[in-house]
């Protein structure tokens, strides 16, 4: 079982490598050449006395991002990103953005099948991205877990695409989407006889407005990373309940009113701009698959930085488990890292802050699951954080 799980998605600088190539698979290359040879020339081609050169096609959006010098394409920091040899692209970095661009070039040139060579991490990234585009990939054999993850990602993509086509964003359980109309402190239900609370009003479409009440909304707005404003499309998420004590007037054994405390359940909320939530989901997917993420992006998102740091710690825990004998093979190490990353990605998608202690506990549980999967052939159990308890207006 081969897996790039031991590689880190954190990208310090473009990593120069030798032998990382993406090429048009030979059988498809020969077919394309034959079809091009047998195709009648157009009037313009006849005038030029030469056929079109589809093997040099380059999307404008990509060519504008690189500095070209002969067959070399350079990144803004003047390091070589890739070399273009027509039916073969030689990459000098494992940066995921460059890999995506290389595959976009391959797609533009009509490569239905590609042959990949290079490091395991490189081949895994190319296989996954190319498979998402519907390309056949020769040179990399995915593990069962990787194939299952790809199938899951493709299913999610189809669901999101369907949601866009119906003009209704995909809505998860405990989640409310809409345009922020108003929010603030007020008497509950705007009734002067009621105590103070906090409300949020959303336009959920078709001119329908809904108002939700909860004392935690004030904190949710203060802690929001995207600081939504009136008129923004937002995602309002219920994060569970938390037991709290509040002042209350009760009757004693003589029937007289006295001040006391009682326990109630307080709802916990999170509110973010809709595009911020989508960005979290994209980065969670990169974390889940071990893709590289640029440092400038990491610096802007504390949650992402924490998740990446914890992911690296999880990899160390997995290796230590193998050294101590808790894990018996590299297959088990790879499975454990997969489970850890999956749990982190799920937490990141929900906007949760991830702590080192949590990953240590999750690592111990993942070690047990890894042994079960390898030895008993049980399906992987994705480890999730225990949900906090809460409610009250």
Where exactly are the structural domains of the chain? 4-142, 175-275, 277-376
DSSP code, position 264: E
- Measured distance CA(265)–CA(275) in Å, rounded: 30
pLDDT of amino acid 59: 85
Nearest to 201 by CA among 179, 223, 185, 229: 179
Tokens matching residue 380 = 């992987």
pLDDT in tens, 247-282: 777 788 888 888 888 788 888 998 988 888 777 777
- Model-wide pTM > 0.75: no
Is the pLDDT at 314 greater than 80? The verdict is no
pLDDT in tens, 43-82: 444 334 333 446 778 888 787 888 999 999 998 878 899 9
Q: pLDDT higher for 295 or 51?
A: 295
Lowest mean pLDDT among 166-180, 224-238, 309-323: 166-180
pLDDT of amino acid 13: 40
Q: pLDDT higher for 242 or 371?
A: 242
pLDDT of amino acid 121: 85
Strand 196-205, strand 175-187: pairing: antiparallel
Q: How many CB atoms lie within 10 A of CB 291?
A: 24
pLDDT of amino acid 27: 66
Per-residue 3-state assignment (H helix, E strand, C coil) for 157-193: HHHHHHHHHCCCCCCCCCEEEEEEEEEEEEEHHHCCC
> Given pLDDT bands bounded at 50, 70 and 90, which one contains residue 89?
very high
What lies within 8 Å, CB to CB, of 45 at 6+ separation is 51, 52
Q: Is residue 210 within a helix (H) or strand (E), and if so which, with residue range?
A: strand 208-213
């Amino acid at each position: 079982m081969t897996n790039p799980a031991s590689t880190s998605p954190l990208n310090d600088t473009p990593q120069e490598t030798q032998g990382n190539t993406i090429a048009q698979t030979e059988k498809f290359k020969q077919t394309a050449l034959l079809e091009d040879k047998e195709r009648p020339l157009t009037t313009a081609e006849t005038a030029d006395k030469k056929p079109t050169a589809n093997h040099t096609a380059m999307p404008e959006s990509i060519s504008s991002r690189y500095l070209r010098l002969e067959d070399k394409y350079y990144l803004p920091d003047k390091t070589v990103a890739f070399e273009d040899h027509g039916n073969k692209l030689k990459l000098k970095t494992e940066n995921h953005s460059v890999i995506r661009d290389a595959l976009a070039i391959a797609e533009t040139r009509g490569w239905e099948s590609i042959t990949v060579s290079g490091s395991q991490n490189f081949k895994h990234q190319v296989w996954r991205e190319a498979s998402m585009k519907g390309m056949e990939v020769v040179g990399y054999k995915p593990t069962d877990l990787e194939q299952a993850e790809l199938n899951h990602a493709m299913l999610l993509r189809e669901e999101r695409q369907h949601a866009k086509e119906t003009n209704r964003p995909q809505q998860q359980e405990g989640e409310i989407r809409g345009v922020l109309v108003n929010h603030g402190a007020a008497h509950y239900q705007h009734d002067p006889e009621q105590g103070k609370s906090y409300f949020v009003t959303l336009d959920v479409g078709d001119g329908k407005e809904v108002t939700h009440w909860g004392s935690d909304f004030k904190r949710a707005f203060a802690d929001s990373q995207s600081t939504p404003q009136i008129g923004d499309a937002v995602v309002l998420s219920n994060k569970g309940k938390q037991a709290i004590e509040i002042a209350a007037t009760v009757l004693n054994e003589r029937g007289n009113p006295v001040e006391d405390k009682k326990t109630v359940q307080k709802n916990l909320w999170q509110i973010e701009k809709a595009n911020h939530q989508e960005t979290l989901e994209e980065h969670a997917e990169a974390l889940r698959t071990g893709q590289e993420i640029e440092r400038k992006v990491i610096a802007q998102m504390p949650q992402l930085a924490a998740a990446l740091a914890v992911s690296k710690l999880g990899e160390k825990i997995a290796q230590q488990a193998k050294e101590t004998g808790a894990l018996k093979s590299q297959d088990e190490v790879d499975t454990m890292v997969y489970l850890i990353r999956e749990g982190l990605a799920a937490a990141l998608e929900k906007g949760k802050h991830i702590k080192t202690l949590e990953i240590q506990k999750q690592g111990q549980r993942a070690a047990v699951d890894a042994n079960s999967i390898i030895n008993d052939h049980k399906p992987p159990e994705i480890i999730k954080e225990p949900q906090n308890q809460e409610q009250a207006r």
